[in-house]
Amino acid sequence: MSEARALTNFTGNAVATVLIGTWTKSVEKQQLVEVLAGRAPFDESMMTALDHGAPTPIVEAERMVADPPAPAQPSKMQVSEPAG
């Protein structure tokens, strides 16, 4: 039973990935055809953090030095005087 759920989950995720990638126009259709035809198998060693938009610690540190965030402003709460 768990194998059927795993297969269903995998298939749903694969279809959703292609569908959303097509909607956002981020799918390279020729690459998709090549991979699905078996002519360009998936090679995990080619994946890097930069492929997914995740900043590397060094890149993030360089960005913080070049453009430091503005200091937080204290909130301006109004304090009312007690009725007397």
Q: How many CB atoms lie within 10 A of CB 40?
A: 13
Task: Please write the tens of the pLDDT for every residue from 50-73.
Answer: 656 555 666 666 777 777 667 767
Q: What is the mean pLDDT of the chain?
A: 78
- Return the pLDDT at 5: 93
- 49 phi/psi in degrees, rounded to 5: -60, -30
Measured at the alpha carbon of residue 49, what is the angle toward residues 21 and 69, in degrees to the nearest 5?
100
Helix (H, G, I), strand (E, B) or coil at 50: helix
Structure token digits, residue 63? 């960005």
The model scores a pTM over 0.75: no
Burial of 21 (0-12, 13-18, 19+ CB in 10 A): middle
